[in-house]
Amino acid sequence: MTNVTKSRPLSPHLQIYKLIPTMLMSIVHRITGAALYFGTVLVAWWLIAAASGPAYYDWASWFFGTIIGQVILFGYTWALIHHMFGGLRHFMWDLGYGYEKEFSTKLAIANAVGSITVTLLLWIVGYIVR
Amino acid sequence: MDMRTPLGKVRGLGSAKEGTDHFWRQRLTAVANVPLLTFFVIFIMTYAGAPHADVVAALANPFVAVVMALVVISALTHMRIGMQVIVEDYVHAEGIKIVLLMLNTFFAIAVGGLCLFAILKLAFAG
């Protein structure tokens, strides 16, 4: 049994294939998901800061307002939007639609363009409102 | 010594009846996450840089507190399953894999515990 498992033929890995948009977006979907995973620490920190009182909250708020904080939050926003748009594509596939080659390639590109556009728009609106 | 083949041992036992459980829960929380995290993003955008008193008053609102708790529960459930898949895909050493799968659950529960306690404290005690 062990021998059968060991000598089982394996499909070639990522680096063998030419990089195409659908494949790249699949990888980015997973990376953004992993980034969002660790990003929940920031959400927990923010909530705890709010629950801890004004002095600590002001400090946390100050950190998020610094250039480093803003870059992290911008990246976090993009990761969330990108992962959500990727998720919407998955809903479509789960329902059995959108498997055509040309269409799925266009949609993969739209996912990247859309997530960057929406993230920028959110931040522009955020800065204007403030 | 057991002379039975691996197939013979499991034949007739049937499936565990939870083969699609992860798949389903990942979709269920994904659907829930769309409105919940849209709310979360709008809330954060509205209160970014706002004074502490305003943020506390907003989070003390029962509707906001409950939805915020749902955001935490749905998102953490979703990400825990997702990270489990990542670990199972890339980590093949049995020992490390089990440790990472345990840490994954511990992480999700720890973050969830901290978030939910903070939300409840803000809702009940301000």
> Is a pLDDT exceeding 90 seen at residue B10?
no
DSSP H/E element including B125: helix B94-125
What tens digit of pLDDT does each residue of A22-67 get?
A: 999 999 999 999 999 999 999 999 999 999 999 999 999 999 999 9
CA dihedral defined by A33, B34, A47, A129, rounded to 10 degrees? 110
Domain, as residue range, for A80: 21-129
Contact in structure between B107 and B124 (CB atoms under 8 Å): no
Q: Which of B33, B48, B59 sits opposite A50 (nearest CB)?
A: B59
Confidence of residue B12 (pLDDT cuts 50, 70, 90): confident
User: How many Cβ pairs within 8 Å bridge chains A and B?
Assistant: 80
> Is a pLDDT exceeding 70 seen at residue A3?
no
What tens digit of pLDDT does each residue of A9-24 get?
A: 777 877 888 899 999 9
45-104 of B, contacting A, C-beta below 8 A: 45-46, 48-49, 52-53, 55-56, 59, 68, 72, 75-76, 79, 82-83, 86
Q: How many Å separate Cα B6 from the centre of its chain?
A: 35
Q: What is the mean pLDDT of chain B?
A: 94
Does A3 reside within a domain? no
Does A125 reside within a domain? yes
Query: Between chains, do B86 and A43 touch, taking CB under 8 Å as contact?
Result: no
pLDDT of the residue at B16: 81
| CATH number of the CATH domain containing A86 | 1.20.1300.10
Query: Between chains, do A84 and B33 touch, taking CB under 8 Å as contact?
Result: yes
Q: Which residues of A touch B59 (CB under 8 A)?
A: 50
Does A54 reside within a domain? yes
Catalogue all structural domains in chain B, each as residue range(s) with its CATH number. Answer: 20-125 (1.20.1300.10)
Does A80 reside within a domain? yes
Q: Which residues of A touch B49 (CB under 8 A)?
A: 61, 65, 130
pLDDT of the residue at A5: 64
> CA A42 → CA A12, A85, B16, B21, distances in Å?
38, 22, 38, 29
Does A119 reside within a domain? yes
Does A13 reside within a domain? no
pLDDT of the residue at A114: 98
Helix, strand, coil: what percent of chain A each, to 5?
85, 0, 15
What tens digit of pLDDT does each residue of B51-90 get?
A: 999 999 999 999 999 999 999 999 999 999 999 999 999 9
Sequence-distant contacts of A71-74: CB under 8 A, at least 24 apart = A72/A42, A74/A119, A74/A123
Confidence of residue A2 (pLDDT cuts 50, 70, 90): low
- What's the total number of domains in chain A? 1
User: And the tokens for A38?
Assistant: 């660790």
Q: What is the mean pLDDT of chain A?
A: 93
- Is B32 in CB contact (< 8 Å) with chain A? no
Q: Which residues of B touch A53 (CB under 8 A)?
A: 52
Does A46 reside within a domain? yes
- Is A63 in CB contact (< 8 Å) with chain B? no
CA-based nearest residue in chain B for residue A49: B118
Q: What is the ipTM score, two decimals?
A: 0.88
User: DSSP readout, A49-91?
Assistant: HHHH-HHHHHHHHHHHHSHHHHHHHHHHHHHHHHHHHHHHHHH
Query: Between chains, do B52 and A47 touch, taking CB under 8 Å as contact?
Result: no
Does A102 reside within a domain? yes
Q: Which of B45, B114, B119 sits opposite A122 (nearest CB)?
A: B45
> Is a pLDDT exceeding 60 seen at residue B98?
yes
Confidence of residue A4 (pLDDT cuts 50, 70, 90): low
From the candidates B25, B45, B61, B90, which should be mutated to test the interface with A, based on the most A CB atoms within 10 A?
Answer: B45
Q: Which residues of A touch B48 (CB under 8 A)?
A: 64, 126, 130
Query: Between chains, do A30 and B33 touch, taking CB under 8 Å as contact?
Result: no
